A and B are shown apart, each in its own frame.
Chain A
């Protein structure tokens, strides 16, 4: 019983980590520099202060990050912004 449950738990944990890593590795910057971090931080502040539904911010979580998804270089700009705005990463 304990052995079977452990097998189930640890294998699912490993596969979940892999699937999530594949998704995030395509979306987040491979190597986040200071300028990316600071730019994202600066952009994040006014975005977060806007009330949802006032027409300036998307009510759909994660929509704001769509334009930067799947950048071929892998060094997606605004990586921290993605992390900050995507509720699944919080």
Chain B
């Protein structure tokens, strides 16, 4: 039954996309994050993401090229990055695995580059956020609810998709759960799509609660860093800062006091990087990456980490040998796989995203009709920074959520650019009639003479 239901929802995006092409693009975002192919055998029969992506692009080209934005440096760099990642396939250490990762990573990067073309108006931007939140909630909510009922555990998969890879991997899920909190808070307060009924804000607050529980229930230490960034953001957003600090202290006390001892013990190992196997292994693989790119400055292609061999002394004092230790860091992942040019492009995209978010925040500050843009830019920057900080401990450089968070500030800055252009045009139009009124008068005068 759920097979057919999920397949119908998948088809609904295509049907709705025919009347409003941006919905087909949202359908791709939903498919990429919801992963309906794992929940419905019917959807799994076709390459679901590719089919939806193709529909979105074709519909955009055919019927939705209204008000196209100008080409930004961000979009150009993203396309260059996608092409460079493809080029590294030529000298990939492990070609078979490299092609496998390229298959989804290339799609993610390239689709994110066309997002600012499709997502233009305020309603479209908010619809993108809402659909994205809904798609992510399929992974977050079950974990949050089950943690609330029965507690969490490390390495125990409580999600709807029982896998330990991609978005369902515990650390990745923890990072994304914390990362969407600023957006959940924004939608709860400023949504125009969901009417401001009594339940809207409490409803989104409840989703925020589930996201927090999910992050804590995974026992991932990455979440702690994410919570710090989101905590700073919420502190800056709050009007009563003293009350916020008291509330935060109370919340932390409750979490530490009432959580299981296994959770606090695991969190206590966060800074114990010299003896804890997982943390020590990460440091050693980063060290290996630096040595690798010294001899391979152009990188080793996707999934090249499988060639590494890490040796270290474990908790029990015995020498431990690990083959194919993953990067567990987005920056080292890009550096190892795509070398210095790849890292340069990747960092440029990140810095431009942050820059455009900051510029939008400063330009829309105090502007009455752009209050929503100001608040959304702040929320999107907080979400992006959360993922970038969490990304220092997880290898999610090509996961869709990172690229969507990188592109959201671009959509917002493009919105601001168009509003500014329209306002300038209006200003010029009000000046023009005055000149136009003057001219005929002069002509009449000259005829009279």
The chain A residues found within 8 Å of chain B, CB to CB, are 2-4, 6-11, 13-22, 24-26, 28-38, 74-75, 80, 83, 88-90
Tell me whether A18 and B131 are in contact in the complex, defined as CB-CB below 8 angstroms, given that A7-B138, A32-B369, A88-B195 are known contacts: yes
- On whether the beta carbons of A30 and B121 are closer than 8 Å, the reply is yes
Specify which of A2, A6, A9, A83 is in contact with B192 (CB 8 Å cutoff).
A83
- On whether the beta carbons of A30 and B67 are closer than 8 Å, the reply is yes
- On whether the beta carbons of A22 and B23 are closer than 8 Å, the reply is yes
Closest to A75 in B: B422
B124: A residues at CB distance < 8 A = 21, 25
The chain B residues found within 8 Å of chain A, CB to CB, are 2, 5-6, 9, 12-13, 16, 19-20, 22-23, 26, 30, 34, 39, 66-67, 120-124, 126-127, 130-131, 133-135, 137-138, 141-142, 145-146, 160, 192-196, 367-369, 415, 418-419, 422-423, 426
- On whether the beta carbons of A11 and B6 are closer than 8 Å, the reply is yes
Specify which of B66, B126, B134, B369 is in contact with A14 (CB 8 Å cutoff).
B134
Complex Cα–Cα for A14 and B66 (A):
24
- On whether the beta carbons of B123 and A24 are closer than 8 Å, the reply is yes
Complex Cα–Cα for A37 and B364 (A):
15
Provide a sorted-by-A list of 7 A–B residue pairs whose CB atoms are within 8 angstroms. Answer: A2-B145, A10-B141, A17-B131, A20-B193, A21-B20, A21-B124, A89-B195
- Return A46 CB to nearest CB of chain B, in Å: 19
- On whether the beta carbons of A10 and B138 are closer than 8 Å, the reply is yes
- Return B33 CB to nearest CB of chain A, in Å: 10
Specify which of B122, B134, B423 is in contact with A17 (CB 8 Å cutoff).
B134
Complex Cα–Cα for A25 and B39 (A):
31
- On whether the beta carbons of A21 and B23 are closer than 8 Å, the reply is yes
Q: Could you say which of B2, B6, B30, B369 has the most chain A C-beta atoms within 10 Å of its C-beta?
A: B369
Complex Cα–Cα for A8 and B2 (A):
9
Complex Cα–Cα for A41 and B142 (A):
44
Specify which of B12, B126, B160, B426 is in contact with A7 (CB 8 Å cutoff).
B160
Q: For the complex of A and B, list the 7 residue pairs with the smallest distance between their C-beta atoms, beginning with the closest.
A: A21-B127, A37-B369, A17-B130, A14-B134, A30-B121, A13-B134, A22-B20
A14: B residues at CB distance < 8 A = 9, 30, 34, 130-131, 134-135
Specify which of A10, A22, A25, A74 is in contact with B134 (CB 8 Å cutoff).
A10
Complex Cα–Cα for A34 and B426 (A):
10
Q: Could you say which of B2, B5, B122, B133 has the most chain A C-beta atoms within 10 Å of its C-beta?
A: B122
- On whether the beta carbons of A35 and B130 are closer than 8 Å, the reply is no
- On whether the beta carbons of A3 and B142 are closer than 8 Å, the reply is yes
Interface of A is mostly: helix
A sample of 5 more A-B contacts (CB under 8 A), given A21-B123, A21-B126, is A10-B34, A11-B9, A25-B121, A31-B419, A75-B422
- On whether the beta carbons of A15 and B12 are closer than 8 Å, the reply is yes
- On whether the beta carbons of A6 and B130 are closer than 8 Å, the reply is no
B12: A residues at CB distance < 8 A = 15, 18
- On whether the beta carbons of B6 and A35 are closer than 8 Å, the reply is no
- Return B129 CB to nearest CB of chain A, in Å: 9
Complex Cα–Cα for A35 and B419 (A):
11
Q: Could you say which of A10, A30, A34, A89 has the most chain B C-beta atoms within 10 Å of its C-beta?
A: A10
Closest to B145 in A: A2
Complex Cα–Cα for A47 and B409 (A):
37
Tell me whether A18 and B26 are in contact in the complex, defined as CB-CB below 8 angstroms, given that A2-B146, A30-B120 are known contacts: yes
- On whether the beta carbons of A19 and B16 are closer than 8 Å, the reply is yes
- Return B446 CB to nearest CB of chain A, in Å: 35
Specify which of B66, B137, B192 is in contact with A74 (CB 8 Å cutoff).
B66
Complex Cα–Cα for A46 and B98 (A):
65
- Return A18 CB to nearest CB of chain B, in Å: 5
Tell me whether A6 and B135 are in contact in the complex, defined as CB-CB below 8 angstroms, given that A15-B9, A19-B16, A22-B23 are known contacts: no
